[in-house]
Structure 1
Amino acid sequence: MQPSPKLNNNVSFSEEAKGNQLFPVFVKLNQLRTLLIGAGNVGLEKLSAIVNNSHQADITIVAETINPAIIDLVAAYPSIKLKQKTYDASDLKDVDIVFAATANNVLNEQIRAEAHQKGLLINVADKPELCDFYLGSIVQKGDLKIAISTNGKSPTIAKRLKEILNEGIPAELDTTLQNMSALRKTLSGDFASKVKKLNQVTEGLIQPRKSFAERNIKWLIWLSIVLFIYTAGLTLWNTEPEFQSFLINIDPLFYWFLIAGFVFAMVDGAIGMSYGVTTASFSLAMGLPPASASMAIHISEVLSNGIAGWMHYKMGNVNWKLFKILIIPAIVGAVLGAYILSSLEHYSAYVKPVVAIYTLFLGGIILMKAFNIKRKKPGSQKIKNIGPLGFVGGFIDAAFGGGWGSIVLSSLIAGGRHPLFSLGTVKISRFFIATLSSLTFFTMLGGRYWEAVVGLIIGSALASPIAARVSNKISAKTIMVAVGIIVMAVSLRSVVMFILKLI
């Protein structure tokens, strides 16, 4: 049966042929065997185009007369072989692609016919109707390469466009390309999440260049705030004796936790974890009872998790079905954990080593993640027991000062859930958990250790605008190793001190 002259989509071949039907490709000539027939001025032009774009191209040149410039060019490229002879069909043996650059039109047509008999693609100089492919004008900036085609209609237009693009595209764009390649290798998650991250990074390429003030508005705002606070504080110190007396009499605990909140928020911003465990370990080492330490941690996290949850909501990263299943059990677990821990405040001497053992375990997990020591993962089937997972995560988070992300987020991802939507859902859930567990702690304990609470809130707030930049400057592995060792050492000290007291 003869094939229909119509395509499957009912478009005729004559209609289909209208317009530019070329399919752009980039050929690895360094892995193919190329034959160039003709070595005059046109042959020199073809050869130059090939070697300029593929320095290691395997080329054989066949020609009776050879341009001296080609001889000089061949001397610089060992992969080019030169045969001064008359062309015959045997030259097409062991060849992948052919360029005909002779001044003899009859010979060019003969070469094309014999090349097609062997199933070879051919480019015939200055004869678009005889070509299987064209050589476009090339714009190159490092690894970036742009090819321009006019479908053989006007090489002059292609040349002018090449000049425009060469002038308009900065050479520094290749540096951006290399940085993007390095960034791409560090990204985790599925293809969609990688593309989303790379899109965010490259948005600046299509936006107009901003002024210095526009690029640094965030830092200008923070500088203004710092200057205002400094000026107001200095004025009050010099003019109001009551204010001076108030600052002098503040418990030094406030300043310790101010510094700690700043440092731990910076660490959390750099590696995306460990705020709860580092703050809990520090609080216990500073003498805070477990319940008061957990209260300080959760109150300081309300604002930061609210902002993070809102951002994930705006970016559409929240799985609302998962959120509805997770949130109620998580809140119940968090409130119950906060209530039980607060009720045991008078027995903090016995609760403290239990919390220390828990933070010791989390410190070990941080070290494992730093060195990519992977535990056996469950199958790819999605985790089903979301409600119990939320309850356990909320309870442990409140009762031990942290662990919501470590328990719930890692379980969701390991159980086959989408990492990006799991992160957004866990973050926005964390806001409600931190808020309600904080209210429970505050109701049970009142305003105890308010200096620690306020210090953490202010310290973490000051760190938040610069934490993200730190993550690009310091190795995450280095930070995780340091945090893991410090947390384990502090926790182990608390356990040993408790055992020594018993002895």
Structure 2
Amino acid sequence: MRALILLGLVGFVAQLVDGSLGMAYGVTSTTLLLAIGTNAAAASATVHLAEIGTTLASGLSHWRFGNVDWKVVAKIGIPGAVGAFAGATFLSSLSTEIAAPIMSIILLALGAYILVRFTVMGLPRGNLGKPLRKRFLAPLGLVAGFIDATGGGGWGPVGTPAILASGRMAPRKVIGSIDASEFLIAIAASAGFFVGLGSENITFSWVVVLLIGGVIAAPIAAWLVRHIPPRILGSAVGGIIVLTNVRTLLRSDWIGAPGGVQTVAYVVIVLIWVAAIVYSVREYRRDKASESVEAIEAELQGKTGDTKEETASA
């Protein structure tokens, strides 16, 4: 019972982060399932089955708050579904001994990318309003869908930063569109896992609990996306994912690191992680202060211009 409650909380927190940041539900949930001993394919299958419900709830919530561009959803979601089905059948064909470290490496890379991307660069805002072309979105969706299924997550970590980096959509629209299109990826990946694994390796009570936690969090996250600082959240989530998957790799048969080496590695990662969060908070406050100064200057310039016009007319 305690394990199910924990999974429900993980589903809630993971969806809260995913709905606010446009990524990390699958990466976070799969990382936990691997940490408690679930085999790689079953972990990814469990998460993707739960995501059918959570992504539907999240997509509808974002749509109600005006955060979805349906043209982008179609252009990236359909190729993404093809990639997800291919990735699921590929992962299902690997042995557990091979799949677990491979998935941890993928998750570690995604976590490091999230950590560095949001800590160092924040959110680009240039080129807003320019169209996103199919020749960009289709390959992006195909690759992101394949990585998502093989890594137990990755649709958001690959898709969200790539579209944000283009600077052509407002962040809330990017996050809402990625979350809405993930519904197609979850269905395709789940179908691929059923073809490759069947249903005997999936614990459906875990699916239900993850789903309940995610569905509860979805509307809250869609509302929070307008208020929570994505830069800080990205740094925090990236650090958790890196730390957890380094732990998995160091304890795996591939490495089998001694306890002292593991401790040193954890301390170094935590120090980097804390420094990243502190830096993100500082930069976020600096950006907010700059925006406030610019707004005040613009207001003062506006008042000065009005005064000049009144003087001239007098």
TM-score tier, shorter chain, comes to 0.5 to 0.7
Looking at structure 2, the residues matched to 467 and 324 of structure 1 have their Cα atoms a distance apart, in angstroms, of 22
Match in the other structure for 2:161: 410
Contact 1:409 1:423 in 2 (8 A): yes
- Could you tell me which residue of structure 2 aligns to residue 462 of structure 1? 216
Q: Which residue of 2 aligns with 1:56?
A: none
Paired with 1:487 and 1:261, the residues of 2 have a C-alpha distance of 15
Query: 1:308 maps to which residue?
Result: 58
Aligned alpha-carbon RMSD (Å): 3.5
CA contact (8 A) 1:381 1:415 kept: no
Shift of 1:434: 0.8
CA–CA distance in structure 1, aligned partners of residues 137 and 228 of structure 2: 35
Q: Which residue matches 1:486?
A: 240
SS in 2 for 1:372: helix
Of residues 366, 378, 396 in structure 1, which corresponds to 2:114?
Answer: 366
The structure number with the bigger radius of gyration is: 1
C-alpha deviations, 1:174-214, integer Å up to 9, x for none?
Answer: xxxxxxxxxxxxxxxxxxxxxxxxxxxxxxxxxxxxxxxxx
User: In 1, are the aligned partners of 2:11 and 2:211 still within 8 Å (CA)?
Assistant: yes
Higher strand proportion: 1
Distance 1:339 1:259 in 2: 29
Provide Cα deviations, 1:193-249, integer angstroms capped at 9, x if missing partner.
xxxxxxxxxxxxxxxxxxxxxxxxxxxxxxxxxxxxxxxxxxxxxxxxxxxxxxxxx
Which aligned pairs between 1:101-500 and structure 2 lie closer than 5 A? 253-313=3-63, 315=66, 317-320=68-71, 322-344=72-94, 347-373=95-121, 384-415=135-166, 417-419=168-170, 422-443=174-195, 444-447=197-200, 448-467=202-221, 479-498=233-252, 499-500=254-255
- CA distance in 2 between counterparts of 1:276 and 1:296 reads 10
Conserved 8 A contact 1:394-1:404: yes
- In structure 2, relative to structure 1, the CA distance for the partners of 1:414 and 1:328 (3 Å cut) is same
Checking the alignment, whether the CA contact within 8 Å between 1:368 and 1:374 is kept in structure 2 is no
- TM-score of the aligned structures, taking structure 1 as reference length: 0.43
Q: CA deviation at 1:373?
A: 3.4
Q: What secondary structure does 2:121 align onto? A: coil
SS in 1 for 2:120: coil
Once the 2 structures are TM-superposed, how far is the Cα of residue 287 of structure 1 from its aligned partner?
0.8
Find the aligned partners of 2:80 and 2:227 in 1 and give their Cα distance.
Answer: 35
- Higher RCO (CA-CA < 8 Å; seq separation 6+): 2
Per the TM alignment, residue 437 of structure 1 is displaced from its structure 2 partner at its CA by 1.5
Aligned residue type for 1:308: S
- Kept in 2: contact 1:254–1:455 (CA 8 A): yes
Q: Describe the superposition over 1:357-403 as per-residue Cα deviations: whole angstroms up to 9, x where unpaired.
A: 12112222232244233699999995533322211111111111111
C-alpha distance in structure 1 between counterparts of 2:52 and 2:42, whole Å:
16
Letter in 2 for 1:337: G
Distance 1:309 1:375, change over 3 A: closer
Query: Are residues 413 and 267 of structure 1, via their aligned partners in 2, closer, same or farther at CA, if it must alter by over 3 Å?
Result: closer
Residue 474 of structure 1, CA deviation: 7.3
Q: Using the alignment, how far apart are the partners of 1:375 and 1:354 within structure 2?
A: 30
Counterparts of 1:282 and 1:253, CA distance in 2? 11
Q: Compute the displacement of 1:281 (Å).
A: 1.3
- Secondary structure of 1:418's partner? coil
Give the aligned residue type for 1:296: T
TM-superposition CA deviations, 1:94-136 (whole Å, max 9, x none): xxxxxxxxxxxxxxxxxxxxxxxxxxxxxxxxxxxxxxxxxxx
Q: Distance in 1 between matches of 2:74 and 2:137?
A: 10
TM-score (norm. length: structure 2): 0.66
Give unpaired runs (5+ residues) of structure 1: 1-249
* Structure 1 range deviating more: 264-273 or 483-492: 264-273
